[in-house]
């Protein structure tokens, strides 16, 4: 089993998910599907990855129109067939579709403002089973993004310790 200090990138985190035998996962905030594809490639035990994103709003329209981003994601993930399901809705709407303790791996990479990150963590934490992997991306504070504050404010009162990768756009994670 990989030691926490040996996990330096979110791609290595996907390898760790495979070590944990993760079979069912959710990625909240999928964008073009690049990370979702890596999750599926690096975690062969993953039988189903639910990709949740509304593909709507002004966040990436400078890159390409929303429907084009959705189509790009569909194209990128098509080779994975039934192992992936795109759910085109918001995190808070999608979370209701999942039972408590039903997921082996939750990866949060949606809106990075404090309130939204904390809302996502609060909503998805119960859906992850004990022993499952719970994680998120862009662990930094800048341009109004306060992911570290939300992570700290949720997990510190629970007495839970989390780990942070060392890559430029770090990810945070813990085993529930």
- Residue-level pLDDT at 65: 58
Alpha carbon 105 to its chain centroid, in Å, reads: 8
Domain CATH code at residue 166: 3.40.50.150
pLDDT at 59: 63
pLDDT tier at 143 (50, 70, 90 boundaries)? confident
Domain carrying residue 141: 4-175
Rg (CA), the chain: 15
Q: For tokens 């609060």, what's the residue?
A: 122
Phi, psi of 63 (to 5 degrees): -80, -50
What is the H or E stretch that residue 152 is in?
Answer: helix 147-155
- pLDDT, tens digit (0-9, with 9 covering 90-100), for 18-58: 999 999 999 999 999 999 999 999 999 999 999 999 988 66
Predicted local confidence at residue 68, as pLDDT? 87
Specify the pLDDT at position 61. 55
Count of domains forming the chain: 1
Note the pLDDT of residue 18.
Answer: 95
Cα–Cα dist 160/108, whole Å: 17
Distance CA 146, CA 134 (A): 18
What per-residue confidence (pLDDT) applies to 3?
Answer: 86
**Predicted confidence band at 147 (pLDDT cuts at 50, 70, 90)?**
very high
Residue 130: CB partners within 8 Å, gap ≥ 6? 101, 176
pLDDT value at residue 70: 93
The pLDDT tens digits for 91-136 are 999 999 999 999 999 999 998 899 999 999 999 999 999 999 999 9
Q: What proportions of the chain, in percent to the nearest 5, are helix, strand and coil?
A: 40, 25, 35
């Amino acid at each position: 089993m990989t030691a926490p200090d040996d996990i330096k990138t979110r791609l290595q985190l996907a390898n760790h998910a495979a070590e944990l035998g993760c079979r069912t996962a959710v990625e909240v905030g999928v964008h073009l599907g690049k990370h979702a594809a890596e999750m599926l490639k690096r975690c062969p035990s993953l039988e189903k990855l639910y990709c949740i994103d509304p593909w709507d709003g002004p966040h990436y329209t400078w890159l390409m129109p929303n429907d084009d981003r959705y189509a790009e994601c569909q194209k990128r993930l098509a080779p994975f067939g039934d192992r992936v399901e795109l759910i085109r809705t918001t995190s808070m709407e999608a979370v209701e579709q999942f039972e408590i303790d039903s997921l082996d791996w939750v990866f949060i990479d949606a809106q990075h403002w404090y309130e939204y990150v904390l809302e996502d963590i609060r909503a998805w934490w119960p859906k992850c089973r004990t022993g499952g992997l719970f994680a998120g991306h862009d662990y930094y504070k800048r341009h109004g993004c306060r992911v570290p504050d939300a992570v700290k404010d949720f997990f510190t009162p629970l007495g839970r310790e989390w780990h942070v990768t060392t890559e430029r756009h770090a990810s945070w994670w813990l085993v529930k």
